[in-house]
Amino acid sequence: MTEGLRQTLTVEAPSKQYKITIDKKWIDRDFFKALAVNRKIVMITDENVYACYRELLEGFDVFVITAGESSKCMASYSDIQSYLIEHHLTRSDAVVAFGGGVVGDLAGFVAATYMRGIGFIQVPTTLLAMVDSSVGGKVAINHSVGKNILGAFYQPDAVYMDTAFLETLPDAEFACGMAEIIKYGLIRDEALFALLADLPVKAVREQIASIIARCCAIKAEVVAADEEDRGLRQILNFGHTVGHAVESFYHYKTYTHGHGVAIGMAIKAKLAMNNGIIDPVQYRLIVETIKKFNLPIAIDEPEQMPEVLKEVIHDKKAEGDVFKLIELETIGSVKIAAYTYDALVAMLA
Ligand code: ADP
Ligand code: ZN
């Protein structure tokens, strides 16, 4: 086991305290064996991750799901529960999520509900899961009426991140994670944003472990203050309301989550410029930074945007015409603002 610059953080969520450990090239077979001392573990992964890391997982009880969002469903949930029953898992055993956000959300919801909650360990393998979904305890599956309809707040016992896993991650998936990283800079960390704006992409990749650690520290702070998403945690949705509108308007086929968030952030930057909150130089810096990481700043047919934004009204269950958006206050800070659809469209014109 080689050790780089190992970083650890503690998440002090009201329901549970746990550690996040980040390093490069440290998770090997012995690591997984150590997790299974004095208890059973079942690993959940998807077919792509399994194809890349089959040798690492050999000899463990592994449940492999089909890759993709469609696996966050009742059928996979039920199949995994049956697998745990067949393998006689008890409350003192654990489920290990080894994969991206899909695996983490599904495995977490299984762990939260199997015998009213068993051990749950996150080993995220995508950049997006490392900086976002593996930390904070939101676990869920989808229903035909919408995403994440059936879920829980169920914090993991620990989160172990090995940035070596990112070496096999497709570039498009890496870009998705970068969208969330830029988000953390914009909402809470001006110095992080400056680093992303200044450094060449290659240098960002070389420093990814410490960048992940900064994002996790922000997420940990926010989750500690508002575990169940009643207040502060909403700042993590910066760019997401518009982003979800873009994703859903195109039926989740044309734009990935990262694309949606990137477009949402670019629109918020434009809104802030048009409101006189940031100046044109700051606006350019934000959109150039988004573009640098291979992310879009607008949809391909910008004339469709007013139509796309109508989705926001559905998404927000708007009180009357007014809905809340997270708005830039400056680079590194946001506030909650209220908009009507008409005002939003007019401000963006
Ligand atoms: P998320 O972006 O929310 O983490 P997924 O769980 O769907 O989403 O993962 C994105 C895609 O990347 C999936 O196709 C998954 O199989 C694949 N994947 C996850 N981790 C790796 C990895 N380390 N190497 C290669 N492919 C991976
Ligand atoms: Zn997101």
pLDDT digits (tens, 9 = 90+) for 101-159: 999 999 999 999 999 999 999 999 999 999 999 999 999 999 999 899 999 999 999 99
User: Which of these CATH numbers, 3.40.50.620, 3.40.50.1970, 3.40.50.2300, 1.20.1250.20, describes 2-168?
Assistant: 3.40.50.1970
State how far the Cα of 180 lies from the Cα of 290, in Å rounded to an integer. 11
Instruction: Report, as an integer, the average pLDDT of 36-40.
Output: 97
Q: Which ligand is closest to the CA of 169, given by its number?
A: 1
Q: Which ligand is closest to the CA of 172, given by its number?
A: 1
pLDDT of residue 323: 84
Q: Where are the alpha helices (DSSP H) in 114-237?
A: 127-128, 171-188, 190-198, 201-206, 208-225
pLDDT of residue 120: 98
Atom of ligand 1 nearest to the CA of 68: 7
What CATH homologous superfamily does 172-348 map to? Dehydroquinate synthase-like - alpha domain (1.20.1090.10)
Atom of ligand 1 nearest to the CA of 46: 16
Query: Of 6-10, 202-206, 207-211, 302-306, where does mean pLDDT reach its minimum?
Result: 302-306
pLDDT of residue 299: 97
Q: Is 21 annotated as ligand-binding?
A: no
Q: Which amino acid residue places its CA nearest to atom 10 of ligand 1?
A: 100
Q: In this structure, how many other beta carbons lie within 10 angstroms of the beta carbon of residue 281?
A: 8
Residues 6+ apart with CB under 8 A from 264: 238, 239, 240, 241, 242, 243, 245, 246
Q: Which residue has the higher pLDDT, 319 or 43?
A: 43
Q: Which ligand is closest to the CA of 165, given by its number?
A: 1
Q: Is 242 annotated as ligand-binding?
A: no
Q: Is 146 annotated as ligand-binding?
A: no
pTM, two decimal places: 0.96
Name the residue ranges covered by the structural domains of the chain.
2-168, 172-348
- C-alpha R_g of the chain: 20
Instruction: Report, as an integer, the average pLDDT of 257-267.
Output: 97
The answer, yes or no, to whether any atom of ligand 1 lies below 6 A from the CB of 101, is yes
